[in-house]
Structure 1
Amino acid sequence: MLSIYPAIFYKEKNGYSVIFPDLNYLSTCGENLNDAMEMAIDCLAGYLYTAKLDDDKLPTPSKIDDIHPIDIANTIGFDGKDSFINLISVDLEDYAKTHFNKSVKKTLTIPEWLNREATKKNINFSKVLQEALIAKLRSL
């Protein structure tokens, strides 16, 4: 099932900023229009996915005619002159299978002693690797 929300695209010196007024001014950006569109889809999917996990009620999407890009730009400190509204759609179930839930198998090598000690303590290697990778990515 498609979820569709309007987004405002603001042209800036170095690309586009994208804002979803119905979703607490959720925002993203892209270096060019194509990149901004891809990021908008990913941003919307992430928001919807998190809301679904948290059992949050989603707002009803606004009608395009009810959205005023310049007024919103003034509220958040943008120059809204070069802007447009576009509907962003995503099939959350399909998107999640590809981007959020899909696991990939990795083969790694560790010292035998480390494997033996971790196995004795019933350590979940996949979980530890995921946690370590997340921590590493956050620190970069």
Structure 2
Amino acid sequence: MKKEYAKEYSFVAVLDFTGNQIAVFFPDLDEALSQADSVEEALRRANEVLKLTIESRIMDEEDIPAATPLDKVELREGQRTIVATCTLNEKIKYDKKTLTIPHDLNVAAEAAGLNFSQVLQNALRDKLAEVE
């Protein structure tokens, strides 16, 4: 039976200001990570990475967890929360690509539980942002 997914999603994202850049992560979505140089860019990237993560999970027919309420997210010094949102209002067309990576890198990435599609999409978006 095909899984049912919502059209709109909202998740708490944490902005961490303790490093050289603003780190963006989602307590409920381990693979959803980004970084930015400004708060404005961090807000934009949080929404983008949320959409990419949700799309990836849907494509892989994975579960999407319930979002932790904003007041239940524990923060450390130098962190603050925002609510990232995305709307899936269009049919997404995907292109399949084949790539070759070193074996040891593949083993380490699989052991870390990385989503290869998500990592490649994030890297391509970052590279395209540099080119613009």
Same fold (TM over 0.5): yes
Cα distance, 1:69 vs structure 2:
1.6
Residue of structure 2 equivalent to 1:55: 61
Greater gyration radius: 1
Q: What pairs with 1:16-95 in structure 2 (closer than 5 Å)?
A: 16-24=22-30, 26-70=32-76, 81-94=77-90
Runs of 4+ displaced beyond 2 Å: 12-15
Counterpart of 2:63 in structure 1: which amino acid? K
Cα distance, 1:14 vs structure 2:
3.1
When you count helix as a share of all residues, which structure comes out higher? 1
TM-score, structure 2 normalization: 0.61
1:15·1:33 contact (CA, 8 Å) conserved in 2?
no
Cα deviation 1:62-104 (Å, max 9, x = unaligned)? 011111022xxxxxxxxxx12111110010234xx6xx649xx
Separation of aligned partners in 1, 2:69 and 2:98? 41
Matched-pair identity in %? 18
Q: What pairs with 1:87-126 in structure 2 (closer than 5 Å)?
A: 87-94=83-90, 101=93
Work out the number of aligned pairs and report it.
Answer: 96
TM-score, structure 1 normalization: 0.58
1:2·1:91 contact (CA, 8 Å) conserved in 2?
yes
Counterpart of 2:84 in structure 1: which amino acid? I
Counterpart of 2:59 in structure 1: which amino acid? L
Determine helix, strand or coil for the equivalent of 1:35: helix
Separation of aligned partners in 2, 1:14 and 1:46? 25
2:31·2:53 contact (CA, 8 Å) conserved in 1?
no
Segments of 5+ residues of structure 1 without an aligned counterpart are 71-80, 103-126
Segments of 5+ residues of structure 2 without an aligned counterpart are 1-6, 100-119, 128-132
Determine helix, strand or coil for the equivalent of 1:69: coil
2:18·2:79 contact (CA, 8 Å) conserved in 1?
no
